[in-house]
Amino acid sequence: ETGVTQTPRHLVMGMTNKKSLKCEQHLGHNAMYWYKQSAKKPLELMFVYNFKEQTENNSVPSRFSPECPNSSHLFLHLHTLQPEDSALYLCASSQNRGGSSGGGELFFGEGSRLTVL
């Protein structure tokens, strides 16, 4: 079993649907992240949670709604999406030590491939 598991791996939805992406990490980490990976563009950080608290919202539209019920689980709720939201959504986790002892690496899931029709 991989350290970070994402479901579903593939999702096709219409613009009026509501769906959710799920991420679970089995590494005992204290931080979780959502990234968006679109073709020909660098990875875009969407949200960061440290100890279940959201510490970063990178100007993400409100049609994306994250939820972090505990340090091991992270959801991304989707509603009224646009075709340009089609992308690979990657979840990651890390053990952040903060302060001057940073440099922790991210552990990624395999991603959820989203297609919005």
Binding site for another protein (CB under 8 A): 4, 6, 31, 33, 41-43, 45, 48, 50, 55-56, 90, 92, 94, 96-100, 102-111, 113
Closest contact distance (angstroms) between CB of 18 and another protein is 25
Gyration radius of the chain's alpha carbons:
14
Closest contact distance (angstroms) between CB of 22 and another protein is 15
Closest contact distance (angstroms) between CB of 108 and another protein is 4
Using CA atoms, how far apart are residues 31 and 8, in angstroms rounded to an integer? 21
